[in-house]
Chain A
Amino acid sequence: DAGVTQSPTHLIKTRGQQVTLRCSPKSGHDTVSWYQQALGQGPQFIFQYYEEEERQRGNFPDRFSGHQFPNYSSELNVNALLLGDSALYLCASSEANQPQHFGDGTRLSIL
């Protein structure tokens, strides 16, 4: 039983570019959440998707957007990349009222 899978594992971009990160939830999970983890910090909530709609959003600018597909997989898009967007991006999946399970993340580096 595969857990949460994320791709790619590492990515290098330059300022101003756009990036798309992908996440496949654990089998049976219908809710996907995205988090940003800066070095030495805890993960920070970006947004959550359920039934292909953004259900909740954290304090992130509109440059951060997402999508959930009918098979529950999800994408995180970041436009106009800034140096400060360099971080580990974590995807978590869950089913109703159950703990979130995390993937291993995508390490994004902005040059």
Chain B
Amino acid sequence: DQQVKQNSPSLSVQEGRISILNCDYTNSMFDYFLWYKKYPAEGPTFLISISSIKDKNEDGRFTVFLNKSAKHLSLHIVPSQPGDSAVYFCAAAGGNTGKLIFGQGTTLQVKP
């Protein structure tokens, strides 16, 4: 039972353009969502998070949008840079449990 889904295995974007990564979830008990970036041979690096009491959170080039009614979140990267090329995971947690449920990941390639 995949509670967090990233339906696009890969995404290719031109440098300077916007990258939009999507994530859907099924469990309405989730109230905290995070995005991580992972380079090969490294552990996931925390990027940005959002609580369910908000619908948007911004940090520099990264913005996360949360649509609770659709159980959907997205990560926008503007402008995209070649160094952003990595695997991006969304994760969800609920009830202050600290247990993160991850999606399968989306590989982003930013072309120069």
Contacts and interface: CB of A to CB of B under 8 A. Distances in A.
Give the secondary structure class of B's interface: loop
Contact of A42 (B41, B96, B98, B103): B103
A4 B41 CA distance: 15
Nearest to A3: B43
Interface in B18-52: 34, 36, 41-46, 49
A31 interface: yes
B89 A48 contact: no
Interface in A64-111: 90, 92, 94, 97, 99-105
Contacts of B43: 4, 90, 102-105
Contacts, number: 56
B63 interface: no
Interface residues of B, number: 23
A99 B34 contact: yes
A106 B45 CA distance: 16
A100 B46 contact: yes
A44 interface: yes
Interface residues of A, number: 25
Interface of B: 4, 6, 34, 36, 41-46, 49, 89, 91, 96-105
20 contacts: A31-B98, A33-B99, A33-B100, A35-B102, A40-B104, A42-B103, A42-B104, A48-B98, A56-B99, A92-B100, A94-B98, A99-B46, A100-B46, A100-B100, A102-B36, A102-B43, A102-B44, A102-B45, A102-B46, A104-B43
Interface of A: 4, 31, 33, 35, 40-45, 48, 55-56, 58, 90, 92, 94, 97, 99-105
